[in-house]
Amino acid sequence: MARHPEFRDFDVALPGGGSVRARLTGRADGPLVVVAGGISADRAPAGDAARRGWWDWAVGPGASVDVDRFAVLAIDWLPVAGEAADRPTTTQDQARAVAAALDALNRPVADAFVGASYGGCVGLAFAELFLERIGRLVAISAPHRAHPTATAWRGVQRRILELGVDAGREAEALSLARQLAMTTYRTTEELGLRFGGAPAPAALNAPHPVCDWLIARGEAHAAGADARRQIVLTDSLDRHAVEPERVTCPLTVVGFTDDRLVPIEDLRELAGRAANLCRFVEAPSVFGHDAFLKEREVVGRALRTALLPLAICSEIAA
């Protein structure tokens, strides 16, 4: 997609002090859709001239979240990069930041909240806290509470980061933590298909092809990342907790069966307990937890279906 949609960045003062940076993309007077992604995501799902967006196939002109029809609101996650990251930040805190961004836009209601991974958790927290301010929620690969296995893996990542900070080796620790995270985002099947049958290197402890891939991903992530902020964000995932019964808006749940971090059983429980389930899409994917970034057909169709009522309204209004 060559054309970058129009956008406007703005700072949002938070009720508890401080501020967060937000972006409104697309048709400012259209139905408003909040878009939120993983802990590495930011306010620019559609990207801009400087950088590709983290979800540019899903959010853009003519895309499933169509910025020619909708006003898309996204925020940078708390804590603000470069600022102190010394206390817990909950998914409820992020939800309050989104609500503050809506206030700043003078929009009482998010017509839809589309969240994947951490962003879906924030969407659930938003729906529970602000039931009058949300039209519908699409939660992709996002549970109502973290699974202990996911907490186990993220806990090891945090302790790697702590060791790195403490030993003055932050960049290496950021890379290692990301390498571990990558193994949890993907599936056994994918790594088998990509790297199976490769011969072992001759030298002791020389990296295998799968390790070369992980190291490259880790180093790319480490550049410019902040270990303290990373600790707060993964900690936030592990303290995430929402009561599904208190999510009363129309809800679409999308889950992938081989997601290591979010067992499909937990999404079945969320869907089963939610007050107003519209649709539960359960699909296989070799990409596991990263399916929301990779499975364009399944995710795109779920988004278009969930947003169809908004699209129809915007047609009528036009």
Told to check if 169 binds a copy of itself by CB under 8 A, we report yes
Q: How open is the CA angle 124-127-131, to the nearest 5 degrees?
A: 165
Interface residue with a copy of itself among 32, 36, 140, 214 (CB under 8 A) is: 214
Q: Is residue 259 annotated as part of the catalytic site, yes or no?
A: yes
- Residue labelled with tokens 């519209």: 278
Least Å distance, CB 289 to a copy of itself, is: 13
Task: Give the Cα separation of 244 and 122 in Å (integer).
Answer: 13
Least Å distance, CB 182 to a copy of itself, is: 8
Interface residue with a copy of itself among 10, 103, 165, 263 (CB under 8 A) is: 263
- Residues in Cβ contact with 199 at an 8 Å cutoff, skipping those fewer than 6 apart: none
Interface residue with a copy of itself among 14, 210, 278, 311 (CB under 8 A) is: 210
Q: Is residue 117 annotated as part of the catalytic site, yes or no?
A: yes
Closest CA to 303 of 101, 28, 35, 76: 35
Told to check if 159 binds a copy of itself by CB under 8 A, we report yes
Told to check if 165 binds a copy of itself by CB under 8 A, we report no
Task: Report the site for a copy of itself in 267-296 (rule: CB under 8 A).
Answer: none
Buried (b) or exposed (e) across 182-206, using 16+ Cβ within 10 A? bebbbbeebbeeeeeeeeeeeeeee
Q: Which is nearer to a copy of itself, 257 or 305 (CB)?
A: 257
Task: Give the Cα separation of 233 and 231 in Å (integer).
Answer: 6
Strand partners, 65: 59
Told to check if 241 binds a copy of itself by CB under 8 A, we report yes
Least Å distance, CB 257 to a copy of itself, is: 13
Task: Give the Cα separation of 315 and 304 in Å (integer).
Answer: 14
Told to check if 16 binds a copy of itself by CB under 8 A, we report no
Task: Give the Cα separation of 51 and 313 in Å (integer).
Answer: 32
Least Å distance, CB 204 to a copy of itself, is: 5
Task: Give the Cα separation of 194 and 254 in Å (integer).
Answer: 26
Task: Give the Cα separation of 314 and 65 in Å (integer).
Answer: 13
Contact set with a copy of itself (CB under 8 A):
86-88, 147-149, 151-153, 155-156, 158-160, 162-164, 167-169, 172-173, 176, 179-180, 183, 188, 191-192, 194-196, 198, 200, 202-205, 207-211, 214-215, 231-232, 235, 238-239, 241, 260, 263
What is the set of active-site residues?
Answer: 117, 259, 289
